[in-house]
Structure 1
Amino acid sequence: MRKIERQNDDIVVALSDDDIDLIITSLRETLEALEDWEFETRTGFKRGEIERFLEQVQSLAKHDT
């Protein structure tokens, strides 16, 4: 992973295929391993937020050519 630049509240980074795989795998495992009652406390995010973010990452990975 390499930081490219910072734009206001956004950080632009370059990710390798391995970086993307790590993010996807980690998010999937988090979604599977944590119960609903503990999810937000342990992650700081609602389950739906993580599910949407995972979908976005997967979509970017699929469309990257």
Structure 2
Amino acid sequence: DHEKRLGQVDLDELELFSALYFNVKFLQCTYDRHLLERLRSYEPDLGISHSNQEENKEEMVVS
């Protein structure tokens, strides 16, 4: 349940957070350790394996 996890969140902040999440998950383009840790609280294996992310990208393009 997203509301339970996030609590009260400013929509602009949530939009920014979502964009940053997308960048980290799909583009691997942050080196901000604090942000990465914050995102990993939602998805623990985020940003760990580049090769794994590349495989996922190819699958997404095909499907």
What's the TM-score, normalizing by structure 2? 0.34
Q: Which has the higher strand share?
A: 1
